[in-house]
């Protein structure tokens, strides 16, 4: 199991390094114990994190309400919980 993510039952726990002000929102590479995600939004009052949640909801094919920001709403270092993802990007190992 990779150190940037872990499974707790059917819930995926992801450690994320957000990269705001990107040209395009996309999943980057694994850096240490975090998954880098480039976010095409400015880091103002949590807007970049909200944009990140919207993006990940589409990537994992879940409702936005299935994603919980554990910590890091206003920080580049975040932890998210994604309940029962229906699709996994190639960088995420299956449970």
What is the pTM for the complete model shown?
0.94
User: Could you list the pLDDT tens digit for every one of the 95 residues in the chain?
Assistant: 458 999 999 999 999 999 999 999 999 999 999 999 999 999 999 999 999 999 999 999 999 999 999 999 999 999 999 999 999 999 998 88
Question: Is 43 part of any domain?
Answer: yes
Q: What is the tally of structural domains in the chain?
A: 1
Asked, for residue 41, whether it belongs to a domain, the answer is yes
Instruction: Please answer whether residues 16 and 34 qualify as being in contact, where contact means their C-beta atoms are separated by less than 8 angstroms.
Output: yes
Kindly give the residue spans of alpha helices, DSSP state H, lying in 24-64: 47-59
Q: What pLDDT score was predicted for residue 2?
A: 56
Residue 89 lies in a domain: no
Q: In terms of Cα–Cα distance, which of 94, 50, 29 is closest to 39?
A: 50
Count of residues for the chain?
Answer: 95
pLDDT for the residue 3: 87
Q: Do the domain assignments include residue 88?
A: no
- Write the CATH number for 19: 3.30.1200.10
User: pLDDT value at position 1?
Assistant: 44
User: Which among 76, 58, 38, 57 has a CA at the least distance from the CA of 68?
Assistant: 57
- Which residues constitute the domain of residue 69? 5-83
In a domain, 90, yes or no: no
CA distance 17 to 56: 14
């Amino acid at each position: 199991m990779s150190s940037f993510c872990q499974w707790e039952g059917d819930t995926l726990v992801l450690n994320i390094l957000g990269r705001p002000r990107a040209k395009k929102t996309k999943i980057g590479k694994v850096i240490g114990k975090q998954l880098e995600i480039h976010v095409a939004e400015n880091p103002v009052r949590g807007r970049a994190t909200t944009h990140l949640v919207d993006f990940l909801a589409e990537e994992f094919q879940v409702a936005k309400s299935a994603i919980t920001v554990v910590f890091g709403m206003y920080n580049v270092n975040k932890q998210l919980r994604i309940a029962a993802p229906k699709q996994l990007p190639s960088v995420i190992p299956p449970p």
